[in-house]
């Protein structure tokens, strides 16, 4: 499973990228707002750092304007994936932009039917939002499993990019189901390293090192 990092915080991306943990980046208007940066400028900086796909989202809601914005975003770098919402206009924009050879990430997906339409429209990535379904007491992971089954049934090449990931468990569940990509905030990726028994075991080892005066260098 590829790891994308869901942030526009360049320093946070750099830290994970240097460890080999970043295969791509996803941003959205909320993350751009949080960064306080100009969208074109910060997206260019991210694309210069990370060679994998970098999703940048359009602001328009009508297809023609989304296409215009998508073309402008795609000029930033070859690794831009234009992010469009899963609306009828978004699907039209997806079809046009992928027809021009651009990568398109169709976002705000909350149902298997929406994912089916995105694949038919040639989406490079479909972004089902797990956490926001869980927030409604639905099971976001069921959606990932349903889309995996449907795409595999018909050999759709659209990659499942699991999004709205809120916990380390979400990451391993996505990997078990076979999501192609999971995009998560930096703190969630780092939390994957945590285990209480690791902490407990290390504390005992440190005590024994101290007691025995063990020294290597
Ligand atoms: O990739 C989409 C993601 O940023 C949404 O996450 O936590 O706002 O639902 P969240």
Q: What is the pLDDT of residues 54-88, one digit of tens each?
A: 999 999 999 999 999 999 999 999 999 999 999 99
Q: Does 132 contact ligand 1 (Cβ within 6 A)?
A: yes
Q: How far is the CA of 164 from the centre of ligand 1 (A)?
A: 4
- Give pLDDT, residue 53: 98
What does the pLDDT average to over 31-38? 97
Q: What is the pTM of this model?
A: 0.96
- Topology of domain 2-192, CATH: TIM Barrel (3.20.20)
Task: Note every long-range contact of 165-170, with CB atoms under 8 Å and residues 24 or more positions apart, other chains counting.
Answer: 165/6, 165/130, 165/131, 166/130, 166/131, 166/134, 167/191, 168/192, 168/194, 170/130, 170/131, 170/140, 170/141
User: Is the distance from CB of 5 to CB of 189 less than 8 angstroms?
Assistant: yes
Does residue 163 line the site of ligand 1, with CB under 6 A? Answer: yes
Give the pLDDT confidence score for residue 160 in this predicted structure. 99
Residue ID of nearest Cα to ligand 1 atom 8: 164
Confidence label for 131 from pLDDT (cuts 50, 70 and 90): very high
Mean pLDDT in residue range 173-200:
98
Residues belonging to the active site: 83
β partners of residue 5: 25, 184
Average pLDDT, whole number, for the chain? 98
**Is the distance from the beta carbon of residue 7 to the nearest atom of ligand 1 less than 6 Å?**
no
Indicate the top mutation candidate among 4, 5, 6, 134 to test ligand 1's pocket, ranked by most ligand atoms within 8 A of CB. 6
Q: What local confidence, expressed as pLDDT, does residue 34 receive?
A: 97
Q: What are 114's two structure tokens?
A: 């929406």
DSSP state letters, 115-177? HHHHHHTT-SEEEEBHHHHHTTTS-HHHHHHHHHHHHHHHT---EEEEBS--SHHHHHHHHHH
For 94-104, the pLDDT digits (tens) are 999 999 999 99
> SS in 3 state form for 177-211?
HCCCEEEECHHHHHHCCCCHHHHHHHHHHHHHHHH
Say if residues 131 and 170 touch (Cβ distance below 8 Å).
yes
Cα of 203 from ligand 1 centre, angstroms = 35
Domain borders along the chain are 2-192
Minimum CA distance residue for ligand 1 atom 4? 164
Measured from the CA of 163, which atom of ligand 1 is nearest?
1
What distance in angstroms lies between residue 165's CA and the mean position of ligand 1's atoms?
7
Q: Is the CB of 55 under 6 A from ligand 1?
A: no
**Site to substitute for ligand 1 among 129, 138, 185, most atoms within 8 A of C-beta:** 129
């Amino acid at each position: 499973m590829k790891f994308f990092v869901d942030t526009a915080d360049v320093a946070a991306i750099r830290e994970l990228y240097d460890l080999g943990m970043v295969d791509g980046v996803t941003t959205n208007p909320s993350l751009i707002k949080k960064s306080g940066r100009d969208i074109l400028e910060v997206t260019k900086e991210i694309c210069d750092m990370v060679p994998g796909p970098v999703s940048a989202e359009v602001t328009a809601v009508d297809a023609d304007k989304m296409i215009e914005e998508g073309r402008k975003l795609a000029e930033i770098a070859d690794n831009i994936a234009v992010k469009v919402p899963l609306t009828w206009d978004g699907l039209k924009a997806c079809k046009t932009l992928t027809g021009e050879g651009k990568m398109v990430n169709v976002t705000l997906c909350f149902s298997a039917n929406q994912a089916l339409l995105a694949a038919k429209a040639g989406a490079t990535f479909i972004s089902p939002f797990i956490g926001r379904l869980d927030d409604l007491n639905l099971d976001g992971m069921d959606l990932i499993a349903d889309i995996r089954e449907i795409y595999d049934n018909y050999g759709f090449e659209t990659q499942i990019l699991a999004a709205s990931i809120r916990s380390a468990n979400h990451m391993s569940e996505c990997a078990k189901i076979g999501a192609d990509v999971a995009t998560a905030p930096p703190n969630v990726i780092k939390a994957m390293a945590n285990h209480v028994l690791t902490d407990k075991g290390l504390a005992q080892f440190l005590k024994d090192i101290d007691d025995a005066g063990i020294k290597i260098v």
